[in-house]
Amino acid sequence: LILALSCPSSVSFAAVGPTANYLSFGVTPSSPKAAAAAAAPTTATTYPPGSFDRALIFDCDGVIIETEELHRLAYNAAFQKFGLRVNGAPVDWSVEYYDVLQNTVGGGKGKMFYHFRTTTNGVWPTSPSSEPPSSPEDQQALIDALQAYKTDYYKTLIAEKAVPRPGVIELMDAAIADPRTAVGVCSASTKAAVTKVLDVTLGEARRNQLNVCILGDDVSKLKPDPMIYRTAAERLSIDPSKCVVVEDSVVGLKAAKGAGMRCLITYTKSTAGEDFYGLGADAKVPELGSRSVTFDSIFGPIKQLGADAEILVGKKDPAEALKFSYLS
């Protein structure tokens, strides 16, 4: 089985044409296991078949750390920096609206495109010095610039506030210690953002022991499309049915199940109300640490009874349970 985890550099903005004013801020954002330990976690290494018996794969945002509020603050900082307004009102994402976005669309650029194409009914924002971008190229340039600024701002927040969720490090270390288990991160976020999160929360040494790390920059389709998890299985040369994914959202759950993998949900305040079991989750818990989720409680039953064995027996939320105390 495989355990996978979801995993920003300076950018100078330049543009030609109508969108140039949006980008004129001058912002400069700041064994198989043994072999893998010497390689960067974003390496495209493909392992020989039979290298691993199982894999554990983690999403990043909301799983390794609760980052969604930091993402929301960083997006709003970018909108404010660029002075964006729609129909005269400043662009600002509320907590409630961002909860909807993160359970609907994967990736930061995807969220912004969704907002300006769907939520605002195709009305693109103005800035103090520019009209709304009208061509697809200008719209893409604006989104790219916003994302670059947002990522740089987000990295600053991460450096100040990032703390891993309870139980994540212990579970990851146990999987890393097993030579027949591959460990990875699969995240729709940018390479710059995820690398910063992993460096702060995991540390460089642990991060370098990941067997696979696939990010939003590495695939052409983001969650809920299963491409990112299918790509992880291909690189590990392992059957997807032998992989267990740790996710926190409906978008991630759909991606994992679409790839044919087992999925454990560790939900957050913003995702606790989702019907994860109804959408196929194999188990859900509020936090790994609060339920003493261990490597053996996940993979022990699978080793004994096969890939379809029930996991986290006696530890997971019962299917009929109402929502976690986050909702109370």
| Longest distance between any two alpha carbons in the chain, whole Å | 65
Both structure tokens of 128: 């103090």
The residues carrying an active-site annotation are 59, 61
- Residues 265 and 281: beta-carbon distance below 8 Å: yes
d(CA 261, CA 252): 11
CA 86 to chain centre: 28
Q: Which residues of 133-150 are buried (b: 16+ CB within 10 A; e: fewer)?
A: beeeebbebbbbbbbbbb
Cβ atoms within 10 Å of 10's Cβ, excluding its own = 11
Coil, helix or strand at residue 255: helix
Spatial CA neighbour of 216 closest among 235, 194, 233, 232: 194
d(CA 228, CA 67): 20
Cβ atoms within 10 Å of 196's Cβ, excluding its own = 23
Both structure tokens of 289: 């640490």
